[in-house]
Amino acid sequence: MNTKGVLDLALEASDVSGQKTVSVSGLPADATVGELVQGLLAQMNLPQNDVGGNPMTYHARLEREGRHLHASERVGDVFQAGDRVVLQPNINAG
Amino acid sequence: MVNSPYAYQLALYTADWVALGRAVLRVDWEPAREWTRFTAVRSGRLPATAVDLEAAVAPIWHPRAGEPYVGGFCVAAAFDRCTVEHVFDAGYFAGLAERALETLAKRKGVETLDTAHYITTAYPAPGTASPAARPMFVACETAPDLTLQNGSLDEITARATPDGEATPGDVPVFLPERVLDELAELTGAAGERETGGVLIGHLRRDSARREVFTEVTAQIPARHTEASSTRLTFTAETWTEVRSALALRGRGEVMLGWWHSHPVEAWRKGCQAADGPACQAGAGFLSLDDRALHRAVFPRAYSLALVVSNTGPGRPAFALFGWREGVIARRGFSTLDTTPDECSDRPSPEAVPDRPRHERCRAKRR
């Protein structure tokens, strides 16, 4: 499944609206889902803080299993080739 | 990725040009990059699949004051062997200036510092051009599941009624009356709490007119939200259900934007003249939270945000917002009369479990 600790598979990640999609590769197998999410937010230019400067909460939903992944799960344990993960924020309108 | 080798600052002044202070800007260039991309797609210079654009931002100096005073900036975005450019004026920084003024007002212990001027300056900042910490993995942007479906702008315009002021250059937007009826009904049913949902439909291209337009086909009410009179939280479960409903419809629709209500009548109850912004608010505005949500969830240049203001008895007021020159701005739209066929075009109860059922499909309200 992995060589030298890097997952030998590509994932697809998208924002919640499906308007932004990225193909992810070179993912360390021992990285956590939380680290994946933070990396995706930066690389997808998605806001990480709300208007008050507080960190926003994004959940990673694994489409294949239809569940939100826990931030502490290891990517090497949960992902398979062709998986798609969706970043779903808890976000306020006022 | 956006490369900007300059650091930007604002100098803030009162209406009488008394200096208030300076603020270092953390400019979000992504909307500018996206606007540049979309403008090129709209005019046919780039394919709709062109998304992973490397962009560079360069300041345009004020024509009279010169460097370091900024009159605007240019974004050059490269895709494949093609480079497209777009020039923005300094209005792009207006939102940041407002925020800086608010911060300054707090610091000075006053409520507001209005009617102020601001001047934007830029200075070379070589450090900003250097690569950031090496990312843990590689993420390459790919084209989303968005196809520009064919459509006739003349045909749809023939059965549309303009609503609100049209701004030249805006992508035409068409909203069915029956969708507005649903929003009015849901807003009324929510009473003194905010409610909302997602607008879905198609982005279409009229090849003959070389123009792109947006056709909203339906709305999906947001469930699993947390709502009060001044706040509506879209949770992860909200998005899961919206995406499921969209997939279940199976009509190739995409999320075009979102809507939410403002219970303005409830806000104004018991208001005194000196009360806060919620009391003083009129119909049709986007709060800072609303703008942040739009930026986070609906960053594409064609995305829409509709505010339904319940100001009292009768039909609520509708105000549509969208991206213009990389900034969220109020915009006009056109309503589409409901046709008999569309009476059966609403999301079925199966597609949106427990969604409010409407008793009738109005053939024509006006």
Report pLDDT for B279: 63
Give B345's DSSP letter: -
- What residues 111-150 of chain B have any CB closer than 8 A to a CB of chain A? 135-146
Between CA A75 and CA A71 the distance in angstroms is 10
- Tell me: the pLDDT tens digits for A35-94? 999 999 999 989 998 888 889 999 999 999 999 999 999 999 999 988 999 999 999 998
B140/A22 CB distance under 8 A = yes
- Tell me: the pLDDT tens digits for B22-37? 899 999 999 999 999 9
Q: What is the ipTM of this complex?
A: 0.88
- What residues 145-174 of chain B have any CB closer than 8 A to a CB of chain A? 145-146
Q: Provide the number of CB pairs (under 8 Å) joining chain A to chain B.
A: 135
Give the three-class secondary structure for B26. coil
Q: Does residue B240 belong to the interface with chain A, where contact is any CB pair within 8 Å? A: yes
B141/A44 CB distance under 8 A = yes
More confident residue, B119 or B106: B119
Angle at A21 between CA A18 and CA A27, to 5 degrees: 135
Q: Minimum mean pLDDT among A56-60, B147-151, B157-161, B213-217: which range?
A: B147-151
Taking residues B74-89, what's their average pLDDT? Answer: 92
3-state helix/strand/coil string of B164-189 = CCCCCCCCCEEEEHHHHHHHHHHHHH
Taking residues A29-36, what's their average pLDDT? Answer: 94
Measured between CA atoms, how close is A58 to chain B, in angstroms? 8
- CA neighbours closer than 13 Å in the CB half-sphere of residue A25: 7
Nearest to A51 among B234, B260, B289 (CB): B289
Give the three-class secondary structure for B359. coil
Instruction: Evaluate the CA torsion angle B199, B203, B204, B209 in order and state its sign.
Output: positive
The residue to which tokens 């999301």 are assigned: B347
Angle at B132 between CA B129 and CA B138, to 5 degrees: 120
Read off the pTM. Answer: 0.87
The DSSP bridge pattern shows strands B304-309 and B317-324 to be antiparallel
Domain boundaries, chain B: 2-124, 149-365
Nearest to A40 among B139, B235, B289 (CB): B139
Between CA A26 and CA A6 the distance in angstroms is 6
Report pLDDT for B337: 87
Report pLDDT for B347: 52
Confidence band of B359 (pLDDT split at 50, 70, 90): very low
Superfamily in which the B149-365 domain is placed by CATH? Cytidine Deaminase, domain 2 (3.40.140.10)
The DSSP bridge pattern shows strands B6-13 and B70-79 to be unpaired
